[in-house]
A and B are shown apart, each in its own frame.
Chain A
Amino acid sequence: MEKRVVFKSAWLPYALVAPQIIITVVFFFWPAIVAMYYAFLVQDPFGLSSHFVWFQNFIELFHSSNYLDSFKVTALFSVLVAAVSMSLALLLAVMADHVLRGAVVYKTLLIWPYAVAPAIAGVLWAFIFSPSIGIVTYYLLKLGVNWNWVINGNQAMLLVVMAASYKQVSYNFLFFLAGLQSIPKSMIEAAAIDGAGPIRRFWTIIFPLISPTTFFLLVVNIVYAFFDTFGVIDATTQGGPAAATEILVYKVYYDGVKAADLGSSSAQSVILMLIVIALTVVQFRFIERKVQY
């Protein structure tokens, strides 16, 4: 869609786009290109000299069991975050769509965690699940569960999944609720008159009708789990124990900033870029079908 009527000026449009284009080039394009260039370099340990090694960094990564493990950890983490936060959100949204009284109050009380920074959510959950002073840990022990995420990799994974899902439940809840409220009530009524019970109605009518929302949220949640959860990991497990929660984004940071392995970290950045590009393309092809421009 284009405007029929436009203004004419030789310089004004360039001046108007200039601030955004300058920021984009200086802080987005240039660093991304430099990261791609570094990905083909090997630097000596003192950072004094570097030489061009073609795809060696990439080959080493795909032969490194650490990196492949990090891929697996990330896949597990993002699937768990998406599954936990979406199923809880859908359950709550269906219930909120059902109740007549207090729906607005429930909504308010369920959406505020969206505002909690991932790092802060990590601190909160790590505190109540802390091995020595955590309040939940104390009661888990009474139930016979020995909870210590500092040494138990599976428990560490559970902790970061809980902390990362916290704000996403709110986000998914809002979108599911909007999706549910847009379903014509007459349709559900017709099914009810035909004798379909609430569970049957959910799976045969409501669930298929909100599938576009579900698919959209799936992509958004995976992108979130891949990139925005750095704060959760850094504020809690820092990738440990024994790399059990070392997701790809954390490894890029750790290898690049803490271990100062510029080439390998940059090669990992490039791989992550390809993942974002793939996810963005999926998201946009989907949205093109959904939204009429």
Chain B
Amino acid sequence: MKDSTTALMVENRPVADFIAHAILILGVIVVAFPLWVTFVASTRTFDEIVNVPMALTPGTHLLDNYAQALSHGSEKGSSAPVATMLFNSFVVAVSVAIGKIVISILSAFAIVYFRFRLRQFFFWMIFITLMLPVEVRIIPTYQVASSLHILDSYPGLVLPLIASATATFLFRQFFLTIPDELVEAARIDGAGPMRFFFDVVLPLSRTHIAALFVILFIYGWNQYLWPLLITSSESMYTIVIGIKRMIAGGDATNEWNIIMATAMLALLPPALVVVFMQKWFVKGLVETEK
């Protein structure tokens, strides 16, 4: 389709093509350059890195660096094992994604399929959470978590992040497009609301759930400010926090080979999710921003 129309255009196609490819390749290189340097540094020794300029080809210490990072972290700065941090990040990312999806789909179902007092009021309450990012309520939220005794715990890391207006809106919009005939048919068959939810609504929402899961997993994995505030013991650090704690001293004292191995471990899981679940990722990104 694209070929037939663009072929009609009159100007010098080969030159335009060349420029387009050149700019795109340059863009890909610029975007990949920090990642490549990080990867190279994660395969070299500390001495090779501080001996400026570091060669831009992979070294021979890949296994040593990653093994040290995973088993006992950086010897300077924080010395928590990165394997623990990866596990924590995984738990937080999956719990945030599932938590947001579950509470959003339930509340959207209630708001679309029932008429009840306070319905509009609840809808607006959920809407307003859009305007209260964690950054504007850090200290009081910390105090709430403290009085609930969930500091330094998984519930503390997860619960304050899982109310989601965007996911609720997304499900609401989708439910409004489900034909009313399906409800009528379900009611004639004697199915109650929860039966309808599990047999009709949930299966129909599959693609939306998958797309949201990808976006929310990345969101949860990449959280920074809240885990920074609420975790105090090393065993509860997520990897994004852990890497910050490893950068303790100046350039000459940080164990850059270990820090860079940790950086690779921190960015690979969400990056692989984007690359391999690209279809869901793009769908989720576009839909949650509507």
**Interface, chain A (partner B; CB < 8 A):** 1, 3-9, 12-14, 16-17, 19-21, 23-32, 34-35, 38, 88, 91-92, 95-96, 98-100, 102, 106-121, 123-125, 127-128, 130-133, 135, 138-139, 166, 169-171, 174-175, 178, 185-186, 188-189, 192-193, 197-198, 216, 220, 227, 230-231, 234-235, 249, 252-253, 256-257, 262, 265-266, 269-270, 272-273, 276-277, 280, 287, 291, 293
Contacts and interface: CB of A to CB of B under 8 A. Distances in A.
Contact of A31 (B33, B144, B263): B144
Interface of B: 1-3, 5-6, 8-11, 16-17, 19-21, 23-24, 27-28, 31-35, 37-38, 41, 49-50, 52-54, 56, 102-104, 106-107, 109-116, 119, 122, 125-126, 128-133, 135-141, 143-144, 148, 159-160, 162-163, 168, 173, 176, 180, 183-184, 187, 192-194, 196, 218, 221-225, 228-229, 240, 243-244, 247, 250-252, 256, 259-260, 263, 266-267, 270-271, 273-275, 278, 281-282, 285-286, 289-290
B137 A19 contact: no
Contacts of A114: 218, 274, 285
B116 A13 contact: yes
Given A21-B126, A28-B163, A109-B31, 18 more contacts: A6-B183, A7-B192, A12-B110, A12-B194, A16-B106, A24-B125, A27-B141, A100-B2, A100-B3, A100-B17, A109-B32, A112-B31, A119-B224, A128-B34, A128-B37, A193-B10, A269-B138, A293-B173
B183 A231 contact: no
29 contacts: A3-B180, A13-B111, A17-B107, A17-B122, A21-B107, A27-B159, A27-B160, A27-B163, A28-B128, A30-B140, A32-B132, A34-B137, A38-B140, A116-B270, A117-B270, A119-B240, A120-B267, A123-B247, A124-B34, A124-B263, A127-B38, A135-B53, A174-B282, A175-B289, A189-B9, A227-B135, A234-B228, A266-B140, A269-B139
Contacts of A26: 144, 148
> Do most interface residues of chain A lie in helix, strand or loop, or is the interface mixed?
helix
Contacts of B33: 128
Contact of A95 (B20, B180, B187): B20
Contacts of B243: 119-120, 123, 235
